Amino acid sequence: MTLRYTLIAELLRGRRHELQPEDVGLARDDGRRVPGLRREEVAELAGINRDYYIRLEQAHGHLPSPQVVASLSRALRLDEDTTEYFQQLAQTSATRAISRRDGLPKGAFAILGLVEPHPAYITNGVHDVLVVNRACAQVANGFLDVGRNLLVEVFEHEAEAPSPGEWRETAIRLVDSLRFQAAPDEERFQELVATLHRRYPSFRTLWARQRARKLTFGTSLFYDVEHGWQRSTWQTLVVPDHPDSLLTVIHP
């Protein structure tokens, strides 16, 4: 059983448990014991065989076809980003690779210089910091050092965050983005998820939410070893021809 099958099973089970009969137009019958929808209800809503659906939830059988993915996404009311995540998991041909610094195009390094004096950095899909510009190195010493991982830094410094609510929003964005950028066949992805699961209870809670989101823009907390947590606005762009590489510009 590969991680790809496990992630699909977890997505289906997690979302099924969240949905209530009323959410999908079904009547709530007396004596219902399951926390959300029944497996047979999801199968019927999606128009697929019940036994086949059960095998998917058990991480058995074949990967679902694009038609089955579309039907289940509608039945489970998945949003656009989570549907795209589901599609990626179900297609081995669409496997994401994890970028490394030496694989970045020269233009990506040039852009980092062009956006000065704004701090900017490039990460890969698992939020390893690949490269930073000079402004970023000055204002985010430590947290955004090349080679560090943003998820590890955020969860490692949770207790020091000035606002638990803002820290949670920052952590959610990173966790949901990690899921969206999932590279289940890559050792680095597997290793990082296992490490975060083992070390941080908060990660386990947020990962169990089964949400997938693209990183676009927002305001988040950044941890600086000299100045502590800093609140900044940021914009993230995908490096052309390198969908696993994300260029983020910070507006302090």
Outline where 141-215 has alpha helix (H).
150-156, 164-180, 187-199, 201-207
Q: What is the mean pLDDT of the chain?
A: 90
Strands 129-132 and 228-239: unpaired
Q: How far apart are CA 137 and CA 121, in angstroms?
A: 9
Q: How far apart are CA 187 and CA 2, in angstroms?
A: 12
Cα 148 to the chain's mean position, in Å?
18
- 78 pLDDT more than 70: yes
Contact status, residue 235 vs residue 120, Cβ threshold 8 Å: no
Task: Give the residue extent of every domain in the chain.
Answer: 3-94, 101-251
Residues 6+ apart with CB under 8 A from 183: 95, 96, 97, 98, 125, 126, 189, 244
- Lowest mean pLDDT segment, chosen from 93-102, 149-158, 220-229: 220-229
Q: How far apart are CA 211 and CA 213, in angstroms?
A: 7
Q: Is 129 helix (H, G, I), strand (E, B) or coil?
A: strand
CATH 3.30.450.20 for domain 101-251:
yes
Q: Which CATH superfamily is domain 3-94 in?
A: lambda repressor-like DNA-binding domains (1.10.260.40)
pTM above 0.85, yes or no: yes
Q: In this prediction, what percent of the chain has a pLDDT beyond 70? A: 96
φ, ψ at 19 (rounded to 5°) = -75, 140
Alpha-carbon distances of 162 from 91, 112, 125, 196, rounded to whole Å: 42, 30, 27, 22
How would you list the strands of the sheet with 217-224, edge to edge?
129-132, 120-123, 242-251, 228-239, 217-224
114-149 residue pLDDT tens: 999 999 999 999 999 999 999 888 776 677 889 999
